[in-house]
Amino acid sequence: MDSFRTEIIPEQTPKKHRSGCFNFAVDTLETVLLALILFFGINAVSARVRVENISMEPTLMPGEFMLIDKIAYKIGKPQTGDIIVFHYPRNPSEDFVKRVIGLPGETVKVANGVVSINGKALVEPYIAAPPQYTGTWTVPANSLFVLGDNRNQSSDSHSWGFVPMYDVVGKALFIYWPPEDFQVIDHPDIVNAAR
């Protein structure tokens, strides 16, 4: 008896062989494109900032690197106690790091070493020393009043004025360098703590 095959065997077409150099070039190009997409994607939502001076001691020390959330204030609003990075209003090519103290419409008063907002004294365990200056400021619309944690060694709103919201780069998230200083940055609710 004759035997028959019931399956169809497809015709095989000869495979094109690519050279090793071509495969390497394609893999390299794919890796570079993926790295560029990741780089620009990460930079669109975050920034890395190096602390340059002593104005935020003891919270932030010179030489530390922080990761900044650049979209925090595009989807939300700053809160009193937030640590932010912003373009210095008098020289936008410089970036400063300070703590938000006053929000639009609030009155900030510094007297007898105490900072108060709308008459409520703030609880500030993070400052280096009580401020040795006095003053009263009412924060205009779309602006922030900021102070350094090293109050008496900080160039901030008490000496040069308010930070327009369009100058705010973002909110500090954590210190990542040096590794032994790694920590998530605390943004305490210093107004409600005063109640």
132's tokens: 């040795």
- Residue type at 79? Q
> Is the separation of the CB atoms in 48 and 68 below 8 Å?
yes
Q: Which of 16, 70, 74, 98 is catalytic?
A: 98
- Residue type at 12? Q
> Is the separation of the CB atoms in 98 and 147 below 8 Å?
yes
- Residue type at 107? T
Distance from C-alpha of 188 to C-alpha of 82, rounded to nearest angstrom: 7
Q: Rounded to a whole number, what is the largest CA-CA distance in the chain?
A: 113
**Radius of gyration for the alpha carbons in the chain, expressed in angstroms and rounded:** 28
Q: Which of 3, 55, 157, 171 is catalytic?
A: 55
98 is catalytic: yes
Q: Which residues are catalytic?
A: 55, 98
